[in-house]
Structure 1
Amino acid sequence: MRLYSLGEIQKWERFYRANFINCLSGFKPVSLVGTVSKEGVPNLSVISNIVHLGADPALIGYINRPLPAAPDSIQNIKDVQHYTVNHITEDIFQKAHQSSAKYEPAVNEFEAVGLASQFEEGIPAPFVQESPVKYHLQLVEIVPISHNQTFLVIGALQHVFLSESLVQTDGFIDLEKAGSMLSLGLDGYANATMVQRLPYAKP
């Protein structure tokens, strides 16, 4: 096993370093965040740092990159206060990845990448029609992380859309059956395979 020191890592080329460090945290859920601007332009952003923050109240967070790199989604969330999270499957992952390109704010990114926007009654933000698991969040808080100029965006769960056949008798959602994908690094996509569910651990 080789030791990689921080001093060595800091000398690497930018994208090599980003790939290396991004892989260290392991496989992560990957989803599309759907938003709409106050002018009504739908926007998509591929996100691989979504995290469960609590079940009661039901809170989910994600890390938004610094504003110069990713300004549109967070601005739309600030303005509209609502957004959606949509799981990515093997059928759409290449189109989903294309949403990481830096489109101009006036561009409808659903149309640009070839995905269909889906608006549901009473929900101002668009869903990805092709996604098998999708949910609607209302903004709770945006927490600036001053050390690297990123933001923790925290939302409260409002609505969930998925097939009842995916939900087991104890509430467990079979995301392998849904085809929900994982990501590794900046551009690696993988399918998930369940090994085993274990009972609640006790001393």
Structure 2
Amino acid sequence: MYTKEDIAKLDRISKLKIVNSVTGIKPANLIGTINDKGRTNLAIFSSVVHLGSDPALLGFVARPRTAEVGHTYRNIFESGIYTINHVHPEFIKNAHYTSVKFDIGISEFEQCKLTEEYIANFKAPFVEESSFKIGMRFIEAIDIKHNGTALIIGEIEHLILPDDAMIDGGIDLEITKAVGISGLNSYYTLKKIENHPYARLNEIPEFE
């Protein structure tokens, strides 16, 4: 067992690895952005969450802005749009190294050998290697004052995914080969183990 005090005494990297693992496996996504000078940025995030379906809202947590980090946040503020791209097993290593603190003038697409892809009337770059990608319009940012991060909220404008991943009105993430993250550097594949109907009060089964 670890107390709050025990966790506080850990070195920075150990603390990051442990606290980033306690919620379980999280989705691995690459967020693509572009600034007003046309410079692209790509960064891996494990904090993308569903916030609502109507309108279709997603959120993610952006780190505190400094000279070295926070390029994703700044680019979203400048352009108002961004992309979320699922990571697949074939390019986990490339995706992982987008977390390096590259200079603002260096594109992670180029450094990590991933390909920019664009669609009509949408300026932000998608990741060509990803088969599951989402075009987002920035809605608002909510500052989390306790640690200087921010919850970035956007609305889905474009949803691009394989046709065969749509099953019974939903998405089968095993078919899309979605990848998950635990901690800072452990990656997992997903396997669907059960499927249940939408839960209704008058259809609760008998549990053993």
TM-score range for the pair, normalised by the shorter chain length = over 0.9
Q: Alpha-carbon deviation of 1:200?
A: 2.0
Q: In the alignment, does 2:115 pair up with 1:105?
A: no
Could you tell me which residue of structure 2 aligns to residue 57 of structure 1? Answer: 55
Secondary structure of 2:77's match?
helix
Q: Once superposed, which parts of structure 1, at least 4 consecutive aligned residues long, lie more than 4 Å away?
A: none
Which amino acid in structure 1 is aligned with residue 38 of structure 2?
G
State the distance in 2 between where 1:136 and 1:50 align: 14
Secondary structure of 1:186's match?
coil
Work out whether residues 32 and 46 of structure 1, in 8 Å CA contact, stay in contact via their aligned partners in 2: yes
Secondary structure of 1:79's match?
helix
Work out whether residues 64 and 70 of structure 1, in 8 Å CA contact, stay in contact via their aligned partners in 2: no
Sequence identity, in percent?
34
RMSD: 0.9
Which amino acid in structure 2 is aligned with residue 157 of structure 1?
I
Secondary structure of 2:38's match?
coil
Could you tell me which residue of structure 2 aligns to residue 199 of structure 1? Answer: 197
State the distance in 2 between where 1:70 and 1:7 align: 28
State the distance in 2 between where 1:98 and 1:17 align: 20
Question: Any stretches of 5+ residues in structure 2 without a counterpart?
Answer: 202-208
Secondary structure of 1:142's match?
strand
TM-score normalised by length of structure 2: 0.94
Could you tell me which residue of structure 2 aligns to residue 79 of structure 1? Answer: 78
Q: Alpha-carbon deviation of 1:12?
A: 1.0
Could you tell me which residue of structure 1 aligns to residue 139 of structure 2? Answer: 140
State the distance in 1 between where 2:157 and 2:14 align: 39
TM-score normalised by length of structure 1: 0.96
After the TM superposition, which residues 41-190 of structure 1 pair with which residues of structure 2 at under 5 Å, given as runs?
Answer: 41-68=39-66, 70-170=69-169, 172-190=170-188
Secondary structure of 2:99's match?
coil
State the distance in 2 between where 1:201 and 1:106 align: 49
How many residues are matched?
A: 200
